[in-house]
């Protein structure tokens, strides 16, 4: 199995090179817009679109053969995505262009790249650090994406193909419970506290509310500046979340790699849609929806593949209601031994952190899924109890001997 990782590299450009890049990005975006407007919206097949407009795109916009094909390919991909999401294809901004082996090359000798522009081939120096150098060393990348950021700088996102190591077989599983008070709690008792994160998010929310209030009452210039500030604030908060999620996922994967463990997570697909149907205050809804748990999951997936760590997903049903010590669920329907962050079992008397209890249950389920026999090994009392509860809801409140 191949894994593709993207390395973002800043380009050092002269004013003349900047003009050539801008011209190329403008032509690429214009070509995409022309293809989307010319070809009937229901046509999505790349080869069919190419047979209709390829020569016109080359003649009208001065793109090379491969850049013209990539412009057509982008329109085809965007149409397929728009159909899946049920939305129309939007406009094409002159901020990126796609390159392949015929229009892009990387030279490790002097850490430069060669790109095709509308004015011919141009070589650019890379302004990169040790991290990028370590990833690019010895590589021969074949694809890249040229991007212009909001501050006017140019970056080349180089795609690297690699063959990750096969995950080692292990019976040890680290269960991870995701939450809001603590972003992650592991089955070994480690916590990534969310208190400081919540405080920072509250500051962002308060600042955003003040700016929005001024944006509706101020003068025309004030409203314009407020809109610019809101955009900057949104980007800053997004980068903060990304940094935290990268840090957490890196530490979890590194730790499990060293201790030869697998990672078990709850499969929370669609949970946001389900929880939003419940009655919540505006603040509760904002706190529940604003943290990028899906991003954290994606970071864990690709880092686990990269380092050869096995990652499994388990059914989240009853993991927070079951006592990990005695596998008991509250016998009264609608009642639970969990109260906020506390879990107090009325059957065996175990007391402790509710998220830690959930992580232990996730670890137990993950161990059965990760076993060589897979789901056939679901023989532990917790798994039996969950399976029985799924088959008959009335059995969910029986005690497990």
- Would you state the pLDDT for residue 74? 96
Q: Contact, 180 vs 241, CB < 8 A?
A: no
Q: Of 30-39, 188-197, 328-337, 340-349, where does the model show the most confidence?
A: 30-39
Could you tell me whether strands 173-178 and 262-266 are parallel, antiparallel, or unpaired per DSSP bridges? Answer: parallel
The 3-state DSSP class for residue 37 equals helix
Q: If you ran DSSP here, which 8-state letter would residue 169 be given?
A: P
Q: Where are the beta strands (DSSP E) in 253-295?
A: 262-266
Q: Are 229 and 279 in contact (CB under 8 A)?
A: no
* pLDDT bucket at 240, cuts 50 / 70 / 90: confident
pLDDT at 229: 83
The Cα 69–Cα 50 span in angstroms is 7
Give the whole-angstrom CA distance, residue 314 versus residue 325.
Answer: 19
Question: pLDDT confidence of 282, banded at 50, 70, 90?
Answer: low
Per-residue b/e over 152-190, b at no fewer than 16 CB within 10 Å?
eebbbbbebeeebeebeeeeebbbbbbbebbbbbbbeeb
Instruction: For residue 156, give the nearest of 5, 4, 7, 3 by alpha carbon.
Output: 7
Sheet of strand 351-353, all strands in order from the earlier edge strand to the far edge = 338-339, 342-344, 351-353
Number of H helices, E strands in the chain: 11, 15
SS3 content of the chain, % helix, strand, coil (to 5): 50, 20, 30
Classify residue 13 as exposed, middle or buried by CB count within 10 Å of its CB (0-12, 13-18, 19+): middle
Section 255-280 average pLDDT: 75
Beta strands in 282-362 (DSSP E): 311-314, 338-339, 342-344, 351-353
- Residue indicated by tokens 């074949």: 142
Q: Quick check: 309 pLDDT over 90? A: yes
Contacting residues for 222 by C-beta, under 8 A, at least 6 apart: 214, 215
Query: Number of C-alpha atoms within 13 angstroms, CB side, residue 5?
Result: 17
Helix (H, G, I), strand (E, B) or coil at 224: helix
Cα angle for residues 124, 129, 132 (degrees, 5° grid) = 80
How far apart (Å, rounded) are the C-alpha atoms in residues 329 and 323?
A: 7
Q: Percentage of the chain surpassing pLDDT 90?
A: 55
pLDDT tens digits along 195-214 = 777 788 788 888 888 888 77
The candidate with the shortest Cα–Cα distance to 264, out of 296, 320, 326, 310, is: 310
Provide, rounded to the nearest whole percent, the portion of the chain with pLDDT above 70.
87
- Residues whose CB falls within 8 Å of the CB of residue 29, separated by 6 or more in sequence, listed in order: 92, 93, 94, 95
The answer to whether residues 114 and 44 touch, using CB atoms and an 8 Å cutoff, is no
256-281 burial, b if ≥16 CB within 10 A, otherwise e?
Answer: bbeeebbbbbbeeeeeeeeeeeeeee
Residues 6+ apart with CB under 8 A from 126: 9, 10, 11, 12, 111, 112, 113, 132, 156
Q: Check the CA dihedral 186-189-192-198 and report its sign.
A: positive
Candidates 239, 143, 181, 208; CA nearest to 355 is: 181
pLDDT over 80 at 110, yes or no: yes
Please determine, for residue 172, whether its predicted confidence score (pLDDT) is greater than 80.
yes
pLDDT, residue 292, reads: 74
For residue 388, the Cα-to-chain-centroid distance in whole angstroms is 35
């Amino acid at each position: 199995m191949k894994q593709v990782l993207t390395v973002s590299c800043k380009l050092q450009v002269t004013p003349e090179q900047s003009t050539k890049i801008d011209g190329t990005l403008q032509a690429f975006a214009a070509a995409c817009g022309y293809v989307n407007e010319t070809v009937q919206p229901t046509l999505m097949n790349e080869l069919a679109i190419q047979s209709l407009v390829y020569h016109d795109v080359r003649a009208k916009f001065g793109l090379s053969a491969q850049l013209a094909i990539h412009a057509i390919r982008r329109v085809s991909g965007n149409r397929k995505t728009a159909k899946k999401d049920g939305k129309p294809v939007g406009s094409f901004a002159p901020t990126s262009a796609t390159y392949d082996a015929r229009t892009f090359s990387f030279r490790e000798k002097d850490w430069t790249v060669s790109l095709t522009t509308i004015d011919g081939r141009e070589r650019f120096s890379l302004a990169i650090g040790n991290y990028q150098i370590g990833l690019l060393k010895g590589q021969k990348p074949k694809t890249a994406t040229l991007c212009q950021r909001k501050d006017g700088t140019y970056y080349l996102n180089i795609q690297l193909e690699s063959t990750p190591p096969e995950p080692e077989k292990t019976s040890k599983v680290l269960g991870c419970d995701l939450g809001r008070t603590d972003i992650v709690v592991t089955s070994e008792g480690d916590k990534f506290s969310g208190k400081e994160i919540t405080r920072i998010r509250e500051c962002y929310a308060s600042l955003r509310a003040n700016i929005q209030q001024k944006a509706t009452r101020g003068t025309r210039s004030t409203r314009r500046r407020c809109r610019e500030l809101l955009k900057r604030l949104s980007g800053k908060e997004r980068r903060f979340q990304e940094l935290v999620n990268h840090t957490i996922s890196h530490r979890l994967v590194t730790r499990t790699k060293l201790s030869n463990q697998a990672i078990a997570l709850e499969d929370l697909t669609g949970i946001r849609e389900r929880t939003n149907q419940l009655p919540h205050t505006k603040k509760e809804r904002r706190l529940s929806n604003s943290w990028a748990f899906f991003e954290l999951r994606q970071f864990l997936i690709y880092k686990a593949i990269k380092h050869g760590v096995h990652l499994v997903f388990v059914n989240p049903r009853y993991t927070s209601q079951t006592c990990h010590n005695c596998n008991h669920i509250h016998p009264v329907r609608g009642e639970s031994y969990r109260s906020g962050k506390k879990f107090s079992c009325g059957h065996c008397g175990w007391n402790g952190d509710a998220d830690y209890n959930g992580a232990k249950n996730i670890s137990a389920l993950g161990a059965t899924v990760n076993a060589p026999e897979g789901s056939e090994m679901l023989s532990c009392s917790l798994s039996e109890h969950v399976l029985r509860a799924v088959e008959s809801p009335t059995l969910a409140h029986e005690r497990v001997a």
